[in-house]
Amino acid sequence: MYTITEKMYERLSPYVRIEDKYAGNTKVPEKSFKNNVNSPVSSARKIIEMNGADSVALIEIKGIGPAFARRIIKYRERIGGFYKKEPLLEVFGLDSVKYEEIRNQVTVDDQKLKRINVNATRLEDFKGHPYIRYKQVNAIIEYRKQHGNYSNIADLNKVAILDPETVERLAPYLTF
């Protein structure tokens, strides 16, 4: 149960209206505060676009505080953006319960992804990327040197050290 002080109630009471279903009129409640959908104090939530949002915008998501906002931004920078909502589950501390709480409050614009050109990539381009390790990036570069440029995502399956799952996870972040 949540309570508010008398002083807070006095400030909010002009915005509170509760329908009296028996009398058919609107009245100001005497001792309680109840958020009415028709009141000027709206409980409508904004939909936040995850790849363009700063920490202030992320905090507007119900269930996300400053710590989660920083973690989301840090992880988004590491992977190059979110191509769908599910990778939010990979953010440290954001479990399936929290994800279910926020997933209807967010959207993802995959046009804002930071994509890496596989045919021009260097080791530094993948530094810190959670989906691929140093040896795998090195293998991609060495294979390219030996066999020429990659033409599509299927060509990455020819690199022995890359498993299909890794290739699939990286696919939205790569260009050819």
Residue for token pair 């710590």: 67
Each residue's pLDDT, cut to its tens digit, for the chain (176 residues) gives 367 788 888 888 888 777 766 655 555 555 544 444 444 444 566 899 999 999 999 999 999 999 999 999 999 999 999 999 999 999 999 999 999 999 999 999 999 999 999 999 899 988 889 999 999 999 999 999 999 999 999 999 999 999 999 999 999 999 99
pLDDT in tens, 64-87: 999 999 999 999 999 999 999 999
Distance between CA 28 and CA 16 in Å, rounded? 6
Architecture category of domain 116-175 in CATH: Orthogonal Bundle (1.10)
Alpha carbon distance 51, 72 (integer Å) = 10
Instruction: Give me the phi and psi of 71, to 5 degrees please.
Output: -65, -40
Distances (CA, A) of 156 to 110, 122, 164: 22, 16, 9
Look at residue 45 in the predicted model and tell me its pLDDT.
66
Please tell me the distance from the alpha carbon of residue 57 to that of residue 29, in angstroms, as a whole number.
34
Q: Which CATH architecture best describes the domain 48-112?
A: Orthogonal Bundle (1.10)
CA angle centred on 150, ends 146 and 152, rounded to 5°: 155
Q: Are 29 and 86 in contact (CB under 8 A)?
A: no
pLDDT (0 to 100) of residue 30? 54
**Intervals of CATH 1.10.150.280 along the chain:** 116-175
Helices and strands in the chain, H and E counts? 6, 6
The percent helix, strand, coil of the chain (3-state, each to 5) is 45, 10, 45
| Domain(s) of CATH 1.10.150.320: residues in the chain | 48-112
Do the bridges between strand 106-107 and strand 48-49 make them parallel or antiparallel, or are there none, so unpaired?
parallel
